[in-house]
Structure 1
């Protein structure tokens, strides 16, 4: 599933030159301007963008969203710019074109979009860049133009995002970076192969990476063979994980017993009923562990005074995609029936209200808006 990405607000930018430096950024601007019905709205939109009146931008499939402050009427307007997503068939054809030339993926991972890739995509009837008629917008302002000055400001700043990372364009068209990396054929360049810093240990021959070889436990008085085999299997998997997590020889993370019980229940669902008495809210604790491991459990259990700047950025970013009042307490940002918890690992953990309790919902993310969207989309106010 494609994921949303959030970007901090741009500050004021001096000068009146081109809005984009790359050919694909300029093509984006050209498509916007060719689709506009009112040149005056574009002019004011450029002014708002350069003056830094656009808040944090969230990019998701088919959509850019931000809150735009208009000094003309001293109001803030939730604004969205929409472009069409590519169909599944178009994405399949694009992936084939990327895989046909090894340099295409390497260039994308290096922050470049080769013109040869756009030409190859056009050859199979896939338009990477939106053109005339492909831009649409929604805004809370009273204007009727498409785009209004606020939507134009968001779209102009989006050209800066595209300049820095062409994968933003691909996300807007419906898929993220992982799609092209995962669908690339064998033999891609080393730059692509090592682009993901997460390394994994190889599994023993014939054994899946997440499960050790079966253990034969002889019957003995007072010993439950199935339980012992489960404990031995868990120990092997845990040892493997510890080795993968260690940053130095001899470094081993030892969990407190209470945390390890939660981990064990999360990894082995069949054992969870036997552990019910260990913790009153074991269900929620297991959900938190599955959400983010030990850091996820800490996000459930602890409230702390997070840095004010991080909370402000998180509230601003979440507010750009939510239609609910933002309430900030400790490390919690609450928006109606949704909540984001800022963890000590620098990630936002999404929660949803359920049966008078907050439950982990969705994946943690360094970006608050992305975490909120991954937890279930735009939150409507209460």
Structure 2
């Protein structure tokens, strides 16, 4: 099944980011290849398009009936650039939704430029190509046709630019930091977090868990029901609580 372009005449690509991708690619293609590639793309000669990290590829049907495998490469970010990109992107929590909805904010691209980054090719030199045909060194008309299919696809789905750079929408979402436990205030040490002595937490679900078990404040009779009379007696004696004598009479 071939891919049919929506554009039937004129320039291919309407959004600013599709136009930027097209302009960079056309500087690589040259005028002659750009014209033949555009015609082939509109004729539905590109059979499929697959976009993965650093690579867009597809089969292109030649006029002689042969299928050729064409590819266009835009390298993924190296680790340092990736971290810097994520730092900038995560400061814009709306960015994943906008990209998923087909909108790549131009102001975000300008912000990336301050760190010498771009989701788009920063010139023809950043793009490379290959094809299974014998038109070497190229780029051939099959690569050119693939380029125009990619441009129109990116027009509608700019998230493909993210994919080429080795990123996903999920990467743009800043990880949630674990909440640091709050230090217990005076009066909270032995009453489960309530400063008023009521033994109830004061309303914040992020409050720390109740204070650790304190055997000196435990009813020996209740403790005996859980762990048995002899262990309860030993605990009461060990801590020398006032209840130690009661333990021997109540649970002995």
TM-score by length of 1: 0.44
The equivalent of 1:42 in structure 2 is: 34
Q: Deviations over 1:218-243 (max 9, x none)?
A: xxxxxxxxxxxxxxxxxxxxxxxxxx
User: 1: distance between equivalents of 2:167 and 2:153?
Assistant: 16
Q: Indicate if the aligned counterparts of 1:32 and 1:155 stay in contact, CA closer than 8 A.
A: yes
Q: Indicate if the aligned counterparts of 1:66 and 1:80 stay in contact, CA closer than 8 A.
A: yes
Report matched runs for 1:23-102 at 5 Å. Answer: 23-36=16-29, 38-71=30-63, 73-102=64-93
1:126, distance to aligned residue in structure 2 (A): 1.0
The equivalent of 2:4 in structure 1 is: 11
User: 1: distance between equivalents of 2:99 and 2:169?
Assistant: 9
Structure 1's 88 and 17: CA in aligned 2 closer, same or farther, altered over 3 A? same
Q: Indicate if the aligned counterparts of 2:103 and 2:158 stay in contact, CA closer than 8 A.
A: yes
Structure 1's 93 and 159: CA in aligned 2 closer, same or farther, altered over 3 A? same
Q: Indicate if the aligned counterparts of 1:56 and 1:66 stay in contact, CA closer than 8 A.
A: yes
Runs of 4 or more consecutive aligned structure 1 residues displaced over 6 Å after TM superposition: none
1:102, distance to aligned residue in structure 2 (A): 3.1
User: 2: distance between equivalents of 1:27 and 1:80?
Assistant: 19
Q: Indicate if the aligned counterparts of 2:96 and 2:169 stay in contact, CA closer than 8 A.
A: no
Query: Which is higher, the Rg of structure 1 or of structure 2?
Result: 2
Q: Count the aligned residue pairs.
A: 178
1:120, distance to aligned residue in structure 2 (A): 0.9
Structure 1 gap segments, 5+ residues each: 1-7, 187-205, 207-382
User: 1: distance between equivalents of 2:70 and 2:2?
Assistant: 14
User: 1: distance between equivalents of 2:5 and 2:104?
Assistant: 27
Q: Deviations over 1:27-74 (max 9, x none)?
A: 0000101223x4211111110101110011111111111110011x22
TM-score by length of 2: 0.65
The equivalent of 1:171 in structure 2 is: 163
The reply to whether residue 156 of structure 1 matches residue 148 of structure 2 is: yes
Structure 2 gap segments, 5+ residues each: 178-208, 210-252
The equivalent of 1:322 in structure 2 is: none
SS of equivalent residue, structure 1 residue 137: strand
For residue 147 of structure 1, the aligned residue among 139, 144, 147 is 139
The equivalent of 2:109 in structure 1 is: 118
Q: Indicate if the aligned counterparts of 1:48 and 1:153 stay in contact, CA closer than 8 A.
A: yes
User: 2: distance between equivalents of 1:119 and 1:53?
Assistant: 35
Structure 1's 102 and 176: CA in aligned 2 closer, same or farther, altered over 3 A? closer
User: 2: distance between equivalents of 1:103 and 1:16?
Assistant: 34
Superposition RMSD in Å: 2.2
Report matched runs for 1:277-316 at 5 Å. Answer: none
Q: Indicate if the aligned counterparts of 1:138 and 1:151 stay in contact, CA closer than 8 A.
A: yes
The reply to whether residue 106 of structure 1 matches residue 97 of structure 2 is: yes
1:185, distance to aligned residue in structure 2 (A): 6.2
